[in-house]
Structure 1
Amino acid sequence: MPLVAGVDSSTQSTKVEVRDLDTGEVVASGRGLHPAVTAPRSEQDPESWWGAFNEAWAEAGAPDVDAVSIGGQQHGMVALDADDCAVHPAKLWNDTESDPDVTRLVEQLGGAAAWADAVGSVPVAAFTITKLSWLRRTHPDAWTRMQRVLLPHDYMTFRLTGERTTDRGDASGTGYWSPSAGDYRLDLLRLIDDERDWSTALPTVLGPMETAGRWRDAIVAPGSGDNMAGALGVGLRPGDAMISIGTSGTVSAVSETPTADPSGTVAGFADATGRFLPLVCTSNAAKVLDAFRRILGVDHAEFDRLALAAEPGGPVLLPYFDGERTPYRPDATGAMSGLRSDLTREQIARAAVDGVACGLLDGLDAMRKLTTLDGRVVLIGGGARSEAMQAVLAGLAGMDVIHADVDEAVATGAAVQSAAVLEQVEHAVIQQRWGLGTGNPVDGVDGGSIRERYAELRDA
């Protein structure tokens, strides 16, 4: 039977999912770990990603596939020399050391609105363009040696094919590719260095149905950023919203037209199909729940039981543990208000869930101002497996909420892309054939006045 593979090269690991082309059945999978990182300095040797891929591929049985695609963590900076060796460890999306460069770049172009008009997004420390500015400012020798710039998914595709390519979805998160114009904005890179020939430093942007090259006997699809691949994996449709709860939290939606938010809350990305994917990202999501589980000394099931047993009205948590991207507060820390001497373990667990949920729902509100949301909210990610998180979001979202029935949305979406490119059919054809886009409906719980109380603490 013909097989296709999807790869999720994330912050924490590389996951491989091998599927039957005709039925979509998962026939093999594997996983390889990446070095652990913690903001503000979040760096990895890109060679470690390749090692993790080979480990995951071997665990999946080193299958013979007809097509493969890479979904990778967005934004990261992979700066290479003339021999394609890294001049500095790759800067990841959650590295905030380039925060001083954000203000300078925004001011150089004339303000946030000018950036939103140029590339649909206002740069934050996550964006590649700010990391390039940081590299030149802090490591001039590495800057001199740098000849090419790739994103994490580009680097992995390059290791497979030997070709330097990217796709419109991942390119739209760099801060120097315009979703509305469909092209690089080299003038923005010249704000960093106006003597470098940037046209030779950047990968070719492939269309959704183009081929990046071949690996062994397999076609290699363009790949994309993890958020774009995740949208493919859950069959996200215009009008739907997707909330992903992983290390970070994201809220995204498929739009038929490009978006531009001068406030910087919503990033105006492209997707992997030819449409657009406006997105809000929070830096603190499942790791907040993990921290409170550790504090309480409980497993996932007991944490959910505690949170769901608490009545609304307990303490309020602002979960900005390691700085925050939305709202943009890179130096922030967490805060809790409403503490009383009769505080219970149940209230502590519920405060953690409510705090993460409210941050994500702020993103959903911002999304509604830019695009029509009249469908469902689809929950994905490890943190979305929490029954308490599902119930709180369903109670507060104002839309029907489902928990997606795919275990690895990014790897699944990459597999969808590999199958679509192999057969040269629309992605929706593969999604329908494989039965994607379904999930389990979630019943909500009473959130009380938590959103109003959260807003008071956030804006204090």
Structure 2
Amino acid sequence: MYLGIDLGTSGVKSILMDDAQTLIAECSSRSVEVSRPNRGWSEQHPDLWWDAVCESLDGLAAHHPKAMAAVKGIGLSGQMYGAAVLDETDRPIRPAILWNDTRTEKECADLEVRAPDIRRIAGRKPTPGVTAPKLAWLRDHEPDTFRRTRTVLLPKDYVRLKLSGDKASDLADSSGTMWVDVAARDWSDTLLAATDMERAQMPALYEGIDPTGTVRAELAARWGMASRPVIAAGGGDNACGACGTGVIHDGQGTVSLGTSGVLFLATGEARPSYDHAIETLCHSVPGVWHQMSVILSATSCVNWLSGVVKRPASELVADLGTALGTPSPVLFVPFLDGCWSPRADVEIRAALVGLQHSSDDEVLTRAVLQGVAFALRECADAFRAAGSSIDSLLAIGGGSRSELWLSMIATSLGVELKVPEASELGAAFGAARLALIAQTGARPEEVLTAPRINRVITPVQNLVPAYAEAYDTWLSLMPQIRRASVALGRAA
């Protein structure tokens, strides 16, 4: 039996998988709140992550004691880029700055001055979400915190520390920090020095399939585990999602609809992106890399609308049905937290354009879904401009349960979307698969196979021109919306 733990921004999902890779059980924690004390800030205290993990595993132990007793390996997946800064006693000094925090625009520019070769080494240009500029911000704005920092851990690796006492990370997650030489698959002393950091403050690096330690004896006893399971290095949520869907070969890809929206393509080599904010990262599998483009708000846009109109998000989406209609008469720009990729713009914010008296809940919901689809179209166009071909993608994440949303995305991007079984558990399932490899030594290609496809969503061909025209109008709004966002931000 293998356990996959996925630490998301809004909570934890854990699954139990048997030796045949059959899903046995899953349990989610309560929601984990995000603190936004200032415009563009996004923070969580690391202990909230650990509490959520314990809640999830306590639930599995209570309802599936025999399966938990048989767990031999644990895989970790998690939200990327967050900076958990620890003191000499390994306690968090302050709340972690999260992936969707956009306060570090100045520090990103400074990084390119301090390390002129950063795009070649790290595989991309610095953007505010990644980890390195967060530490530069602490250095410049919270010098006492920076001085006391002995270790920096990514979110899932703080969970690892609590589980086993080991300070370790995987290359897929760590290559997103902008402290890793992506081609060499190792920490870069040049990039660390650019933020006045040292290797001694970094965890040990492993490939995602490698074991990093074992669960503490007292925790194994708490959850009724007969032995102390091996903990795999694991990966960031997107790399683990790709492992869950077997996307480990050059040219394979996914579109993920979670809190964020992600386009992901596996590559056989490190392919730096110099002109767009497209990430080139290591994969969780040795000798494989991937390119990724992230929009900061996807399902979180629907949740935002849910809060505004005081109706459940699932109800709002369900009311639209499953058949794709003509483009919405209202346009929505989904940059509630700014835009990370493929444009790096921390100033732009979300907007609704074209509102009128008839703009009811259904019109607004359709506009929100369409806005996310158009932002993903912009990402896809950047991939294509960089020389990548996208003809078919696997759709994963909670948002992939919406037939209408997938149809909208397929039609906007001009791609076929394949929806695998249990797609909303992709990252946790991928983490469990990595645990199986770490515990047994099995070959990755024998374990990380493609899933059975539940359904295939194709573009609605007669609507492709209309969605292309609506997208062009949407794209043309960006300069005006940015100018208004900047002005309103200064006035706030």
Displacement of 1:344: 5.6
Cα distance between partner residues in 2 of 1:34 and 1:374 = 34
Matched residue of 1:321: which SS?
Answer: coil
Displacement of 1:295: 4.4
Matched residue of 1:17: which SS?
Answer: strand
364-373 or 395-404: which moved more? Answer: 364-373
1:92 aligns with 2:115: no
1:192 aligns with 2:206: no
Partner residue of 2:437?
Answer: 420
Partner residue of 1:28?
Answer: 25
* Superimposed CA distance per residue, residues 348-370 of structure 1 (whole angstroms, 9 cap, x where no aligned partner): 33222211101012112222344
Mark the CA change 1:209 to 1:290 in structure 2 (over 3 Å): closer, same or farther. Answer: closer
* Superimposed CA distance per residue, residues 336-355 of structure 1 (whole angstroms, 9 cap, x where no aligned partner): 33445655654433222211
* Superimposed CA distance per residue, residues 126-151 of structure 1 (whole angstroms, 9 cap, x where no aligned partner): 11101111111122112221111111
Identify the match of residue 289 of structure 2 among 259, 262, 276: 276
* Superimposed CA distance per residue, residues 190-215 of structure 1 (whole angstroms, 9 cap, x where no aligned partner): 2222xx6x121111111243210111
* Superimposed CA distance per residue, residues 246-295 of structure 1 (whole angstroms, 9 cap, x where no aligned partner): 11111111011111111242111111012111100111211222333454
Matched residue of 1:83: which SS?
Answer: coil
Letter paired with 1:265:
A
1:290 aligns with 2:303: yes
Cα distance between partner residues in 2 of 1:295 and 1:45 = 26
Partner residue of 2:320?
Answer: 306
Mark the CA change 1:343 to 1:430 in structure 2 (over 3 Å): closer, same or farther. Answer: same
Cα distance between partner residues in 2 of 1:75 and 1:391 = 31
Cα distance between partner residues in 2 of 1:309 and 1:259 = 36
Structure 1 segment 139-218 matched on structure 2, within 5 A: 139-193=142-196, 198-215=198-215, 216=220, 217-218=228-229
Matched residue of 2:267: which SS?
Answer: coil
Identify the match of residue 456 of structure 2 among 429, 441, 444: 441
> How many residues of Structure 1 are paired with residues of Structure 2 in the alignment?
449
Cα distance between partner residues in 2 of 1:344 and 1:334 = 19
Identify the match of residue 222 of structure 1 among 215, 219, 233: 233
Matched residue of 2:110: which SS?
Answer: helix
Matched residue of 1:403: which SS?
Answer: strand
1:44 aligns with 2:44: yes
Cα contact 2:209–2:435 (8 A) shared by 1: no
Identify the match of residue 265 of structure 2 among 243, 253, 258: 253
Mark the CA change 1:312 to 1:48 in structure 2 (over 3 Å): closer, same or farther. Answer: closer
Cα contact 2:32–2:52 (8 A) shared by 1: no
Matched residue of 1:419: which SS?
Answer: helix
Cα distance between partner residues in 2 of 1:38 and 1:174 = 22
Cα contact 1:354–1:450 (8 A) shared by 2: no
Matched residue of 2:91: which SS?
Answer: coil
Cα distance between partner residues in 2 of 1:51 and 1:292 = 28
Mark the CA change 1:436 to 1:306 in structure 2 (over 3 Å): closer, same or farther. Answer: closer
Identify the match of residue 393 of structure 1 among 394, 409, 427: 409
Cα contact 1:214–1:220 (8 A) shared by 2: yes
166-175 or 313-322: which moved more? Answer: 313-322
Cα distance between partner residues in 2 of 1:190 and 1:146 = 15
Partner residue of 2:128?
Answer: 125
Cα distance between partner residues in 2 of 1:456 and 1:199 = 45
Letter paired with 1:35:
V
Displacement of 1:301: 4.7
Identify the match of residue 333 of structure 2 among 318, 330, 343: 318
Cα contact 1:34–1:49 (8 A) shared by 2: no
Displacement of 1:179: 1.3
Mark the CA change 1:104 to 1:59 in structure 2 (over 3 Å): closer, same or farther. Answer: same
Instruction: Please report the RMSD computed on the Cα atoms of aligned residues, expressed in angstroms.
Output: 2.2
Letter paired with 1:410:
A
Cα distance between partner residues in 1 of 2:387 and 2:452 = 20
Partner residue of 2:54?
Answer: 54
Cα contact 1:102–1:130 (8 A) shared by 2: yes
Partner residue of 2:75?
Answer: 69
Identity %: 24
Unaligned runs of 5+ in 1: none
Taking structure 1 as the reference length, what is the TM-score of the superposition? 0.91
Cα distance between partner residues in 1 of 2:205 and 2:360 = 53
Letter paired with 1:17:
I
Letter paired with 1:57:
L
Mark the CA change 1:233 to 1:309 in structure 2 (over 3 Å): closer, same or farther. Answer: closer
Mark the CA change 1:457 to 1:417 in structure 2 (over 3 Å): closer, same or farther. Answer: same
Cα contact 2:328–2:370 (8 A) shared by 1: no
Letter paired with 2:8:
S
Cα distance between partner residues in 1 of 2:456 and 2:281 = 28
310-319 or 170-179: which moved more? Answer: 310-319
346-355 or 217-226: which moved more? Answer: 346-355
Cα contact 2:253–2:264 (8 A) shared by 1: yes
Partner residue of 1:329?
Answer: 345
Displacement of 1:386: 2.0
Displacement of 1:437: 5.4
Matched residue of 1:328: which SS?
Answer: coil
Matched residue of 1:209: which SS?
Answer: coil
356-365 or 35-44: which moved more? Answer: 35-44
Partner residue of 1:381?
Answer: 397
Cα contact 2:102–2:337 (8 A) shared by 1: no
1:242 aligns with 2:267: no
Cα contact 1:77–1:131 (8 A) shared by 2: yes
Cα contact 2:73–2:230 (8 A) shared by 1: yes
Cα distance between partner residues in 1 of 2:174 and 2:448 = 24
Cα distance between partner residues in 1 of 2:195 and 2:308 = 44
Cα distance between partner residues in 2 of 1:309 and 1:271 = 35
Partner residue of 1:19?
Answer: 17
1:116 aligns with 2:119: yes
Displacement of 1:398: 2.1
443-452 or 54-63: which moved more? Answer: 443-452
Cα contact 2:209–2:284 (8 A) shared by 1: no
Partner residue of 2:87?
Answer: 81
Mark the CA change 1:340 to 1:87 in structure 2 (over 3 Å): closer, same or farther. Answer: closer
Cα distance between partner residues in 2 of 1:249 and 1:411 = 17
Displacement of 1:173: 0.4
Partner residue of 2:488?
Answer: none
Letter paired with 1:203:
P
Cα contact 2:253–2:265 (8 A) shared by 1: yes
